[in-house]
Structure 1
Amino acid sequence: MQPLPLIATLLAALAVWAPAATVKDREGAVRGDKARLENDPRWNWNDIDSGFRLAKATGKPLLVVLRCLPCMSCAGIDASVLEERELAPLLDQFVCVRIINANALDLSRFQFDYDLSFSAILFNGDGTIYGRFGSWTHQKDPLNKTTASFSKALEAGLAIHKGYPANRAVLSGKQGGPTPYQTPIEFPALAGKYQSKLDWSGKVVASCVHCHMIGDAFRAYHRSQNQPVPVEWIYPQPSIETLGITLATDEIAKVEAVADGSAANAAGIQAGDIFTHLAGQPLVSIADVSWALHRSPDSGSLPATIVRSGKETAVTLDLPAGWRLKSDIGKRVGTWPMRAMAFGGMKMDDVPDEERTTLGLDKSQMAMRVFHVGEYGPHSAAKKEGFKKDDIIIQVGDQKQRLTESALIGHLLQHHLPGEKIPAVVLRGQERLEFKLPQQ
């Protein structure tokens, strides 16, 4: 069994290696938010319980916004949600709660894309989830302040609230599933290091459980139990692009493009179609689409309802075996600890076709160039085995076929356990070398 201290060390090392841009004064950002919003008339600041109580008392729906303040990502939309006057009439119809740390989140209720630094969940006061919001468009561009998709999510949530509780049955798929622990700080990788409340008298940022650490803790939990990491935790909240659909970023779920030869193309989905339901669930945002996919089977049928030319139509998407492996997880902060688990701390990418030709490599074979080799803690394991930057890995175990970095991570974490060392073949210049790829 993988020793738990090593898993905890791996998670601690993430703070060094994760390439997430942060504000210069992290402490100041957190303390400034408290000073500014602690007594704000609209926002119940960092107090979920009072938000639920108020929602029950008033009959209003509850909007919980989760924001990682030290992170630069999503700073634009966060500012808009707090300051944009056009949003005020919508926000006034909700009980609004702002949460800036994940320490005491009830994980039975708060299941969302933990790699985002700005997320929102729409609730009924009794805890029933109406929908989720979170934008990778904003995540990738800190200056993006557009709120069109957020406004539409709020409007859709209000419509669901108006039909509640008669529509309770169709909301069942939106509710969270079982978790091994109720709160993040109960996970072994976090227990004892963090408390339920922030340390305002000390270093407040250091006392904060960030949302991405929840996903890290889930994966570390399975790894510490000497189990494969479940595929839904390797590729969490997958984009519908894995099925060949590109959605418009300023709409709830409007199809912008469909890839030829994709599952969506086979189902007859067309540009301009609007998804209203997926897996039986009413949608309020693209994040809702990802949630439905997160809870979908590894293969099988996925029912959907679309509107085309004003007419509602039922369609069925076929989920081919291994569909999640098409997910690109390369820019997720949660992928960095997985790189330590699967690659010993390396970051790599597929060698493009034109370069393969000059290297004499076939287009169908594995050829992964190493762009980064870690030097500290669990991220230094590959370096200790002899791997170097610019190595080209052409075989790992029995895997020789062309794979993306994301797909290779998934294969290794599902089929190999901590402590294993997998034979790997490497091209280094004109040399063909063999090393052992450590699994942690």
Structure 2
Amino acid sequence: MRDSFVCVRITRLNGIDLNRFEFDYDVTWNSFFLDSQLNVYSRYGGRDHGDPEARLSKSSLLKTMKEVLDVHQLALKSDVNGREKFFQPIPKQPFRPHDIPLLRKNHGGCVHCHQVKEYRILQSYHDGKFDRWQLFRFPLPENVGITIDHEHGFLAKSVKFGSAAKDAGVKAGDVIRRINQIPIRSEYDIRWALDKNKTDQIDFELERGGAIVRAKLKPTENWKQTNLGWRKSIRSAPLPFAMRGYPLVRSQRAKMKLPATGLALKVVSVRGEGFSTNLGLKKLDVIIGLNGRHPNRTLNEFKSDLISRYDPGDTVRLTVWRDGKRVQLSGPFPDWFTEEESVP
């Protein structure tokens, strides 16, 4: 089937139209399926905080490729005005990495994917337009209650009870064909379409038993939240963390008589003003609880929890292990702030 495609590999984003080639810039690989005019039929790839390849499979890739070949033949047989329904919508105005002022000012040479994401975050902050939801891109289908069959790619394997999808009538075995009129040919298409949704309703077009069924999903508040801990771009989030630390391993926990599992982040330095100083953290403290919860976390996953749960001014409560005793700390979540204007 590969011989039916012309394959092109792009290893840098210099000069690339980001409006056309839009994907999750924290990932290390992504595929687009296009026609000769660069109209997008589908995109394939994506990951979550677990195994980087857990959402990918050979069979789902082949399924997407076959879908693209079939729809390409239909597009060729259609008149020019009738072809738009086969493509994913793309803004007509190109937008390239060097259209980001901070990137143009501070970056030379190869533009890597994560740098595009990070410069956009920094630019948004310095323009006074930052919103934490800019960090939560490409939400998972599970966020609306749908678990996808990863061997298929866009078939609902299960639907969670009480979720937006269940309440809207989505059923296990449904094939997702369109979301808000965007054609779906992969799980990554689903995530891109969900990412594009800006309203309190998401329109699904489903194939069920050979018939087309429509469902209107009403997602819950904060439905786009996902674990940011794996994302390289989290380092450019304008959160003045003001500390460095690392998770304790089992032997370190045992020496301090802490549980073998659960939250245990050791503070190795406190510097500047921000989260750590607001709460009164000290060097050598071990953070063992966040608002009474104690899940295992890396430092970046802990940051992700904070970004997900708190707005500036909200009270954060920590439990720390200090000098052999549990100590309760509390203080305000800091205002968004960063002095950074460049990305390594």
State the TM bucket, normalised to the shorter chain: 0.7 to 0.9
Partner deviation per Cα, 1:367-398 (whole Å, 9 max, x = no partner): x95736585998x9545664344153439xxx
Paired position in structure 2 for 1:184 = 97
Q: CA deviation at 1:275?
A: 0.9
**Counterpart-to-counterpart distance in 2, 1:306 and 1:390:** 46
Name the CA shift for 1:332/1:177 in 2 (closer, same or farther; >3 Å). Answer: farther
Name the CA shift for 1:146/1:239 in 2 (closer, same or farther; >3 Å). Answer: closer
1:372-411 equivalence runs, <5 A = 382-383=275-276, 386-387=280-281, 388-390=285-287, 392-394=289-291, 406=304, 408-410=306-308
Structure 1 position 274 matched with structure 2 position 175: yes
Q: Which amino acid aligns with 2:170?
A: I
**Counterpart-to-counterpart distance in 1, 2:8 and 2:49:** 20
Paired position in structure 2 for 1:116 = 27
Query: Match of 1:98, SS?
Result: coil
Paired position in structure 1 for 2:90 = 175
Name the CA shift for 1:92/1:437 in 2 (closer, same or farther; >3 Å). Answer: same
- 1:341 corresponds, among 232, 239, 262, to 239
Residue pair 2:12, 2:113 contacting (<8 A) in 1 also: yes
**Counterpart-to-counterpart distance in 1, 2:274 and 2:98:** 27
Paired position in structure 1 for 2:67 = 156
Higher helix share: 1
Residue pair 1:160, 1:167 contacting (<8 A) in 2 also: no
Paired position in structure 1 for 2:42 = 131
Q: Which amino acid aligns with 1:427?
A: T
Partner deviation per Cα, 1:271-330 (whole Å, 9 max, x = no partner): 111112221122111000001101112412x222222233332222223333223x3333
- 2:153 corresponds, among 248, 252, 256, to 252
Residue pair 2:180, 2:203 contacting (<8 A) in 1 also: yes
Alignment identity in percent?
Answer: 23
Paired position in structure 2 for 1:311 = 211
Structure 1 position 433 matched with structure 2 position 329: yes
Partner deviation per Cα, 1:208-254 (whole Å, 9 max, x = no partner): 322122111211111111223262x2210111110111001121301
Residue pair 2:243, 2:271 contacting (<8 A) in 1 also: no
Q: Which amino acid aligns with 1:331?
A: W
Gaps of 5+ in 2: 248-261, 293-301, 338-344
Paired position in structure 2 for 1:56 = none
Query: Match of 2:122, SS?
Result: helix
Name the CA shift for 1:324/1:227 in 2 (closer, same or farther; >3 Å). Answer: same
Residue pair 2:241, 2:276 contacting (<8 A) in 1 also: no
Q: Which amino acid aligns with 1:433?
A: L
**Counterpart-to-counterpart distance in 2, 1:252 and 1:323:** 21
Query: Match of 1:242, SS?
Result: helix
Name the CA shift for 1:423/1:108 in 2 (closer, same or farther; >3 Å). Answer: same
Q: CA deviation at 1:134?
A: 0.7
Q: CA deviation at 1:105?
A: 1.6
Give the number of aligned pairs.
Answer: 301
Name the CA shift for 1:98/1:373 in 2 (closer, same or farther; >3 Å). Answer: farther
Q: CA deviation at 1:346?
A: 7.0
Residue pair 2:39, 2:88 contacting (<8 A) in 1 also: no
The TM-score, its normalising length taken from structure 1, stands at 0.59
- 1:219 corresponds, among 121, 131, 135, to 121
The TM-score, its normalising length taken from structure 2, stands at 0.73
Gaps of 5+ in 1: 1-89, 196-206, 350-367, 396-403
Name the CA shift for 1:370/1:299 in 2 (closer, same or farther; >3 Å). Answer: farther
- 1:293 corresponds, among 194, 210, 214, to 194
**Counterpart-to-counterpart distance in 2, 1:239 and 1:347:** 29
**Counterpart-to-counterpart distance in 2, 1:138 and 1:331:** 5
Name the CA shift for 1:186/1:245 in 2 (closer, same or farther; >3 Å). Answer: same
**Counterpart-to-counterpart distance in 2, 1:124 and 1:213:** 28
Paired position in structure 2 for 1:28 = none
Query: Match of 2:103, SS?
Result: coil
**Counterpart-to-counterpart distance in 1, 2:49 and 2:58:** 10
Q: CA deviation at 1:173?
A: 5.0
